Copies of this chain bind each other. A is one copy, B any other.
Amino acid sequence: MKKVADEIYGYSYGEPEVAASPVTLQQLEELKASVGMTGEDEQYLRLAGQVLADQTAQVVEHWRGRIIGSIPQLARHSRTPEGNAIPEYLAKSNLRFRQWILDTCNRPYDQDWINYQEEIARRHTSRKKNQVDGVRSTPYVPLRDIIAFIAVMNETIKPYLGAKGHPAAEVDRMHNAWCKSVQLQAAIWARVYMDGTATTMEW
């Protein structure tokens, strides 16, 4: 599977240390139905993966540098509680963020994929944020900001999907497939935020 770098610190996709999720393949199939994901969408995700392969650094710089960096309640999650930058933390998590773009496009959506979605979510909650990188930063990223920021990612990814000269109709299809995948992921991430509580039942 294509990676954005030979070594991605803290990236443990498919490794045994990633906890098994209680979300089943059957639930994943149902979620795919709920977002409307078809086999054709999966093909357009693969195409998006080719289109984005050499643009992940720019995309993440766009999101992290130009947008998140300018919104105080988002920017603080990469800084110390006192508001100081932690460049190594940003560099490491940016590399994982870049790999997430490719994984969204290229990985088969199977149990490993579900498990890693939950690992990604845990690393945004107080259970695991900061732990992988051994840093002192905010204890968690609120779920609301993650759900909200999806709108920004979806809007801003589109020009990158069009950057290799594909016809507008194909760019639209890549974009629709991308949006479906991210929404599917967000649905799974939400479970981790609700985990271990009475409300998980209604997840």
Interface residues of A (CB under 8 A from B): 27, 30-31, 33-36, 67, 71, 73-74, 125-126, 140, 142-145, 147-152, 154-155, 176, 179-180, 183-184, 186-188, 190-191, 193-199, 202-203
Q: Is B34 a contact partner of A74 (Cβ separation < 8 A)? A: yes
- Which of the residues B27, B67, B150, B193 comes within 8 Å of A199, measured between beta carbons? B193
Q: Is B143 a contact partner of A155 (Cβ separation < 8 A)? A: no
The smallest C-beta distance from A112 to any residue of chain B, in angstroms, reads 19
Q: Is B180 a contact partner of A151 (Cβ separation < 8 A)? A: yes
Q: Is B193 a contact partner of A144 (Cβ separation < 8 A)? A: no
Q: How far is the CA of A155 from the CA of B154 in the complex (A)?
A: 12
Known: A183-B148, A203-B142. A155 touches B198 (CB 8 A): no
Main secondary structure of the interface of A (DSSP, over half): helix
Q: How far is the CA of A203 from the CA of B196 in the complex (A)?
A: 15
Known: A35-B149, A179-B155. A203 touches B199 (CB 8 A): no
Chain B: which residue is nearest A31 at the CB level? B148
- Which of the residues B147, B148, B202 comes within 8 Å of A125, measured between beta carbons? B202
- Which of the residues B27, B149, B190, B194 comes within 8 Å of A34, measured between beta carbons? B149
Q: How far is the CA of A80 from the CA of B125 in the complex (A)?
A: 37
- Which of the residues B150, B152, B198 comes within 8 Å of A197, measured between beta carbons? B198
Chain B residues contacting A191 (CB-CB under 8 Å) are: 144
Q: Is B30 a contact partner of A73 (Cβ separation < 8 A)? A: yes
Q: How far is the CA of A74 from the CA of B32 in the complex (A)?
A: 12
Q: Is B190 a contact partner of A144 (Cβ separation < 8 A)? A: yes
Chain B residues contacting A188 (CB-CB under 8 Å) are: 144
Q: How far is the CA of A71 from the CA of B37 in the complex (A)?
A: 12
The smallest C-beta distance from A161 to any residue of chain B, in angstroms, reads 13
Q: How far is the CA of A180 from the CA of B199 in the complex (A)?
A: 26
The smallest C-beta distance from A185 to any residue of chain B, in angstroms, reads 10
Q: Is B71 a contact partner of A33 (Cβ separation < 8 A)? A: yes
